[in-house]
Chains A and B, each alone.
Chain A
Amino acid sequence: MLENFSFRTIVEYLPLFGQGLITTVWLSALSFVGALVVGIVLCAMNLQRGWLFRVPAKAYIDAVRATPLLAQLYFLYFGLPRLGFVLPELVVGILALSLNSGAYIAEIIRAGILSIPRGQVEASVASGMTYVHRMRLVVLPQAFKVTIPPLLGQAIVLVKDSALLSLISVSELTRAGQLLASDRFMPAEGFLTIAAFYLLLYYGLKGLAGVSSRWLGTAGART
Chain B
Amino acid sequence: MIWQQLQSLAGSCPLALRGLGMTVVLSLISLVLGTLLGFGLGILRTGGNQLISGVIDAWVDLIRGTPFLVQIFLIFFILPEFGIELDAFTAGIIALTNLAACFICEIVAAGIRSVPTGQVEAALASGLSRWQRMRQVVLPQAMRIVLPPLVGQYVLLIKDSSVVSAIGLTDLTRVGWLVVQRVPNGLLVFFLVGVGYFIVCYPLIMLARRLERRMGAAHGEVQL
> Could you list which residues of chain A lie within 8 angstroms of chain B, going by C-beta atoms?
1-2, 62-63, 65-72, 74-75, 77-83, 104, 107-108, 150, 154, 160-164, 166-167, 174, 177-178, 181, 187-188, 191-192, 194-195, 198-199, 202-203, 206, 222
> Which parts of B123-181 form the interface with A (CB within 8 Å)?
155, 158-163, 165-166, 172-173, 176-177, 180
B63–chain A nearest beta-carbon distance, Å: 10
| B13 CB–A CB distance under 8 Å | no
A contact patch SS: helix
B223 near A107 (CB under 8 angstroms)?
A: yes
Chain B CB within 10 Å — which of A1, A160, A162 has the most? A160
B187 near A82 (CB under 8 angstroms)?
A: yes
Bound Cα distance A206, B74 (Å): 23
Given A71-B176, A77-B186, A222-B219: A163 and B67 within 8 A (CB)?
yes
Can you list 22 pairs linking A and B with CB atoms under 8 Å apart? A1-B81, A63-B198, A65-B205, A66-B155, A66-B198, A66-B202, A68-B158, A68-B162, A69-B159, A71-B172, A71-B190, A72-B194, A74-B180, A75-B190, A79-B187, A104-B223, A150-B223, A167-B166, A181-B77, A191-B74, A191-B78, A198-B66
Bound Cα distance A78, B177 (Å): 9
A174 near B67 (CB under 8 angstroms)?
A: yes
> Which parts of B86-104 form the interface with A (CB within 8 Å)?
none
The interface residues of chain B lying within 8 Å CB-to-CB of A63 are: 194, 198
Given A70-B162, A107-B223, A108-B223: A160 and B67 within 8 A (CB)?
yes
The interface residues of chain A lying within 8 Å CB-to-CB of B202 are: 62, 66
Q: How large is the interface on B (under 10, 10 to 19, 20 to 34, 35 or more residues)?
A: 35 or more
The interface residues of chain A lying within 8 Å CB-to-CB of B191 are: 75
| B55 CB–A CB distance under 8 Å | no
The interface residues of chain B lying within 8 Å CB-to-CB of A77 are: 186
Bound Cα distance A203, B65 (Å): 7
8 smallest beta-carbon distances between A and B, as pairs: A78-B186, A202-B65, A163-B67, A187-B77, A75-B190, A68-B162, A79-B187, A79-B186
The interface residues of chain B lying within 8 Å CB-to-CB of A188 are: 77-78, 81
CB nearest neighbor in B for A24: B67
Chain B CB within 10 Å — which of A67, A78, A79 has the most? A67
A198 near B67 (CB under 8 angstroms)?
A: yes
CB nearest neighbor in B for A181: B77
Beyond A68-B197, A79-B190: 9 further Cβ-contacts under 8 Å?
Answer: A68-B163, A70-B173, A74-B193, A79-B187, A107-B223, A163-B68, A164-B67, A177-B70, A199-B62
CB nearest neighbor in B for A5: B81
A174 near B190 (CB under 8 angstroms)?
A: no
Bound Cα distance A81, B180 (Å): 13
The interface residues of chain B lying within 8 Å CB-to-CB of A150 are: 223
Given A83-B187, A108-B223, A177-B73: A161 and B67 within 8 A (CB)?
yes
CB nearest neighbor in B for A154: B223
Bound Cα distance A49, B184 (Å): 41
| B82 CB–A CB distance under 8 Å | yes
B81–chain A nearest beta-carbon distance, Å: 6
Given A65-B205, A79-B190: A191 and B68 within 8 A (CB)?
no
A65 near B74 (CB under 8 angstroms)?
A: no
A66–chain B nearest beta-carbon distance, Å: 4
The interface residues of chain A lying within 8 Å CB-to-CB of B165 are: 70
A174–chain B nearest beta-carbon distance, Å: 6
Bound Cα distance A167, B77 (Å): 17
Contact of B190 among A2, A74, A191 (CB under 8 A): A74
> Which parts of B208-224 form the interface with A (CB within 8 Å)?
219, 223-224
> Which parts of B51-85 form the interface with A (CB within 8 Å)?
61-62, 64-71, 73-74, 77-78, 81-83
The interface residues of chain B lying within 8 Å CB-to-CB of A222 are: 219
Chain B CB within 10 Å — which of A63, A74, A202 has the most? A74
Bound Cα distance A174, B166 (Å): 12
